[in-house]
Amino acid sequence: MAQSFAFGITGKVLEKLGNVAYEGICSAWGVRKEFEKLKDTLAAIRAVVLDAEQQQARTQELSLWLQRFKDACYDVEDLIDEFEIQALRRQVPERTGKKVRHFFSGSNPLAFRFRMGYKIKKANEMLNEIAASMAKFHLTEKHEPNDVIHRERETYSFVNTSSVIGRDEAKQYLINFLMNPTDEKDIPVLPIVGIGGIGKTTLAQLVFNEKSVKSHFELRIWVCVTEDFDTKQLMIKTIQSATGMNCKDMNKEELHKVLQDCLNGKRFFMVLDDVWNEDKKKWSELKDLLCGGAQWSRIIVTTRSRKVATITGTIPSYDLEHLSYENCLSLFLQLAFKEGEEKQYGNLVRIGEGIVHKCKGVALAVKTLGSLLCSTRVQHDWELVRDCELWKMKQEENDILPALKLSYDHLPWYLKQCFAFCSVFPKDFEFSTFRLIPLWMANGFLQSPYENEEPEDIGKRYIQELQSRSFFQQVEPESFFSNFKMHDLFHDLALSVAQNEVNSCNHYSTGNVRHLWFDLSKQDVSQLPNNLSRLQSLFLEDEGKVDSESLIAEVISRSKHLRVLDLACCNLEQLSNSTRYLKQLRVLSLAYNGNIKRLPNCICNLQSLQTLNLAGCRGIEELPEDIRYLISLRQLTVTTKQTRLQENGISCLTSLRTLAFSECENLEKLFEDIQNLTALREMIIYECKNLVSLPQGLKYLTALENLAISDCEKLDLTMEELELERKEDGSLRKLCIEGVPKLESLPQWILLGSTKTLRHLYIGELENVSMLPTWFQHLTSLRSLKIDDCPKLSFLPEEMQHLTSLQSLEIDDCPELSFLPEGMQHLTALKRLKIEGCPKLSKRCIKETGEDWPMIAHARKIIVKR
């Protein structure tokens, strides 16, 4: 199943050779003729690459030819990068003492032109050889079909109980197990066994969220178990699920005490999802840690392995059967068509019946193909899915990769490389848009048919497409940054198609690795690939068990083409000076290296750097003095000991799109000339305990779309200088304000003139806010509103009835709130309403009998908890 990705890589290089910057390079360095030769040869080879990729499994020689061509494309990309870096250097003002050295340096124009002329000549010779040898393969020209429909899905990726089909009997069996008494002294454990994708997790979630189960157990705990079955990590996850407490810094003894206190005498229900461990000793160790609960406690384990079921189960396992054909067809039609739409497409329904037969009762395969076909009504597309030869591949007991591979093959090429790249993450790894999009951007994966589309917007669109096709699962409802993960089956698929491109923590490749995740605390250094010369992304983790600084320096010296260097949580005390030579570096993360005191000023020579993450680096005494020279920086996260930020520093980074200040415990003020950041779209201020005010220029950031202010106990948002008149020219879409105790009412300036654009508003932990302002009525585009932990809030304004676009309303822990405002029935777009921790209000919203029920009965999903 190995893929070369040659089509996508060639497209990426050809796009670079066709953009405006390319014209500038040709004019500045006189290389137009040589570049045109490269361009023509690449285009000629690319015309047959799709056919070559489809046929490569038939002959090793063709596969090697594709690999050679792909490597040549990467070399050309590196070559173009060198010209772009040289252009960036010219944009940086000359610094004192640099002019004399400049003539003798590698950036000397004459020396650079000579060196690059030689490299272009060698690249042309290589491509000509590759083009000459392709004739013997008799390849035909094929072009990527442009049939992808961009359609947003409104539903979350959580299990929707109303859309789960055919599991009533299994659900009742599990409920009986949970509710019925037993004579067993030990905690009863029921394993659910079935092949991957059959619906074990879905069934467990159905039972976990069943009303009668919730009321029966004092404590419900959900733990997704990783492959290594690390007892310490399982204790941390258990405590976090049960209490919300973060215990990552505790040792095992401390964790054990907290866990026992948590379970002591309580009737709990625990789900251990996706267990792979077949070591009985490890299971016994965990089971002993869970022995403090009350009688009638229960555990459900989901697993693909019968050996795991034998080890864990105290009663016979429940073998989850395949869905019946009728249930599969119902599920398929529900996913492939809008409600009732299937009646208009009898021909497609008949083809769909054949597709469902091929799924052999595997729910995930049905969901994958149903989601795939929901974007097309072309009969030929449906027939291709039904008749594809991949279905003839043998269905292994624990694997449905043939079904998932079919879905992958139908992805547009630009999504294929993005999806395959995600195999570098460990299984069960949660990634956010905040983290993933810069990685895709750094590797040049983001392609757009639209001129001037922001890379961040392209990345968000890609994520939406992958989510809608079920490749990504959203971990929780949309918050400030959406978190996703890949189902383990899709992770297996991503590894199978990436193969020699990726070396992850549980997968070792022997080719020219380009993306590497390496955990120094769990993997031996000898397992590092020998050839790192083509490495583009490096993720290192370390818990202090090895001398990571010297190792990192060595790896960097062998990886001169790195685009991504992620050294988060590596216990570093300093960053290697060899980093200065990574001139193609786009992403540098030093997050949570709390012992670093200073960053070498040489990193400010990395003009290609787009993302710098210093979150949790609490030891940093001062940001580099030349930080203003990072002219390409688009995302910056800062933790520093400074009380004030230097002038002409961050405010000079006019390419910034995202700026975050995290855990800056001494910071009292931000820089005053923040209005210079005219392209800034996201700003986060988190746990800056001594921050007293925001700069006046903040409200002139007309491009700002997302603003989050959290846990800033001294921050005053009502200062007079911020109360200046402002026109309605803002673009704010998400606003989060929580943990600002000095705030008594929400000032209108905080909207930044965006009453017509704001879509998501979160207000929480505002202990002195007693009412919401009347200007709420002007938030005509608001889609979601969450109000949490406002103990003095006693009523909501009647103006809320004007929020006609509101789709989700959540009110939590507002004990003084006693009724809903009049006119709530006018919120006809409302789909989801949740009320919890509001005893007075909950009483009035009881189904059918509550006084406020008639105003909210139209909402599709209503959750009311006392």
pLDDT digits (tens, 9 = 90+) for 546-576: 567 777 888 888 888 999 999 998 888 999 8
pLDDT digits 0-9 by tens, 58-74: 788 998 899 899 999 99
Q: How many CB atoms lie within 10 A of CB 501?
A: 26
Residue 530 Cα distances to 147, 418, 501, 535, 581, angstroms = 41, 25, 14, 11, 20
User: Average model confidence (pLDDT) for the chain?
Assistant: 84
Q: Alpha carbon 191 to chain centroid distance?
A: 30
Please give the pLDDT value at position 158. Answer: 42
Nearest partner of 155 among 434, 522, 425, 470, judged by Cα = 470
Q: Give yes or no for residue 481 having a pLDDT over 60.
A: yes
The tokens for 336 are 């492939």
pLDDT digits 0-9 by tens, 260-292: 999 988 999 999 998 878 889 999 999 999 988
What CA–CA distance (Å, rounded) separates 406 from 385?
8
Nearest partner of 388 among 376, 373, 403, judged by Cα = 403
Nearest partner of 13 among 84, 85, 83, 75, judged by Cα = 75
Nearest partner of 49 among 64, 75, 69, 72, judged by Cα = 69
Q: Which residues pair with 795 in a beta bridge?
A: 771
Terminal-to-terminal C-alpha distance of the chain: 53
What CA–CA distance (Å, rounded) separates 78 from 480?
35
746 or 124, which is more confident?
A: 124
Coil/strand/helix, residue 354: helix
Q: Which helix (H) or strand (E) holds 516?
A: strand 515-519
Please give the pLDDT value at position 721. Answer: 43
Place of tokens 């106990």: 713
For the chain, percent of residues with pLDDT exceeding 90:
44
Please give the pLDDT value at position 464. Answer: 85
Instruction: Give whichever of 4-18, 93-107, 681-695 has the largest mean pLDDT.
Output: 681-695
Residues 764-778, mean pLDDT to the nearest whole number: 85
**Is the CA virtual torsion 739, 740, 742, 747 positive or negative?**
negative
Nearest partner of 240 among 250, 191, 810, judged by Cα = 250
Q: Alpha carbon 864 to chain centroid distance?
A: 30
- Tell me which of 272-276, 322-326, 719-723, 854-858 is least confident: 719-723
33 or 460, which is more confident?
A: 460
pTM of the predicted structure, to 2 decimals: 0.73
Please give the pLDDT value at position 477. Answer: 59
What CA–CA distance (Å, rounded) separates 423 from 438?
16
Q: Alpha carbon 127 to chain centroid distance?
A: 37
Binned at pLDDT 50, 70 and 90, residue 402 comes out as low
Please give the pLDDT value at position 219. Answer: 93
718 or 857, which is more confident?
A: 857
**Alpha-carbon Rg of the chain, whole angstroms?**
29
Please give the pLDDT value at position 857. Answer: 92
Q: Which helix (H) or strand (E) holds 464?
A: helix 455-468
Binned at pLDDT 50, 70 and 90, residue 509 comes out as low
Q: At what angle do helices 455-468 and 413-421 cross, to 10 degrees?
A: 90
The tokens for 454 are 């922001």
pLDDT digits 0-9 by tens, 125-143: 999 999 999 988 888 887 6
Q: Give yes or no for residue 259 having a pLDDT over 50.
A: yes
- Residue type present at position 87: A
Residue 278 Cα distances to 301, 305, 320, angstroms = 13, 8, 20
Place of tokens 């361009």: 39
Binned at pLDDT 50, 70 and 90, residue 478 comes out as low
Instruction: Give whichever of 27-41, 741-755, 815-829 has the largest mean pLDDT.
Output: 815-829
Residue 754 Cα distances to 586, 666, 787, angstroms = 32, 31, 19
What CA–CA distance (Å, rounded) separates 360 from 362?
6
Please give the pLDDT value at position 784. Answer: 92
pLDDT digits 0-9 by tens, 591-619: 999 999 999 998 999 999 999 999 999 99
Q: What share of the chain is helix, strand, coil (3-state, %, to 5)?
A: 45, 10, 45
Nearest partner of 177 among 188, 165, 186, judged by Cα = 188
Coil/strand/helix, residue 2: coil
Place of tokens 């787009």: 610
Q: Which helix (H) or strand (E) holds 252?
A: helix 252-263
Nearest partner of 559 among 571, 567, 547, 570, judged by Cα = 567
Coil/strand/helix, residue 609: coil
551 or 458, which is more confident?
A: 458
What is 167-319's CATH topology?
Rossmann fold (3.40.50)
Place of tokens 């931000």: 670
Place of tokens 């670093």: 596
What CA–CA distance (Å, rounded) separates 802 from 827?
8
- Tell me which of 112-116, 524-528, 594-598 is least confident: 524-528
